[in-house]
Amino acid sequence: MKPHHQKTGLLSQLAILGVALLLGACDLYLVNPQTQMQNAVQPTSQQDAQAELAAPAEPPTPPTPLPGSSEIVFMDSTTAQLDGCRALSTVRFMHNGKFSDGMIALRNSAQQINANRMVPLRLVENVDNQDGPHFFQVRLMRCPKPSAKEAQTNG
């Protein structure tokens, strides 16, 4: 066998192997747009049942504040670092109802994990609809309590 034939045979085998590897990693999806259009136009009985369940519900009952939760206040992240606070957790949730009720729920969750300060990351009040949804995202902090001497000097 001539060296030229060996090189072309090796190159063709490598080319076939390369194509096989490239095609082996691909996924082929066949989508029939006509069936998708039919499914979108004709609602199913399951979709009808979901629409009935999505009917307007009664407003949620306002949460009751936990004892001590009203003492949990906001602070900025720089002050939290300077005061020696440590981050406990980050809370993120959406609330349907009054914004003030969402704040009570936020303070209650902070009280439950023993936080005494909150650093606001994102607070969004829905002004178009007072019943929400409102978005709350805060970092819950545990800060050391100031001594009596520090409390007197700070006012």
pLDDT digits (tens, 9 = 90+) for 11-44: 888 888 777 766 665 555 556 666 655 555 555 6
**Which pairing describes strands 134-142 and 86-95: parallel, antiparallel, or unpaired?**
antiparallel
Contact criterion met (CB below 8 Å) for 90 and 121: yes
Strands, E assignment, the chain: 73-74, 86-95, 117-124, 134-142
Measured in whole angstroms, the distance separating CA 150 from the mean position of its chain's CA atoms is 39
Distance CA 42, CA 143 (A): 58
For 63-89, the pLDDT digits (tens) are: 888 898 889 889 988 888 888 889 898
d(CA 105, CA 69): 9
Range 134-154 average pLDDT: 73
Break the chain into its structural domains and give their ranges.
Answer: 69-145
Stated as kind and residue range, the H or E segment containing 90 is strand 86-95
Report d(CA 146, CA 116) in Å as an integer: 12
For position 139, what pLDDT does the model report? 92
Confirm or reject CATH 3.30.1660.10 for domain 69-145, answering yes or no.
yes
Q: What is the pTM of this model?
A: 0.55
β-strands 73-74, 86-95 pairing: unpaired
Give the residues across from 93 on adjacent strands.
136
Report the pLDDT value the prediction gives residue 65, as an integer from 0 to 100: 86
Residue indicated by tokens 């060296």:
3
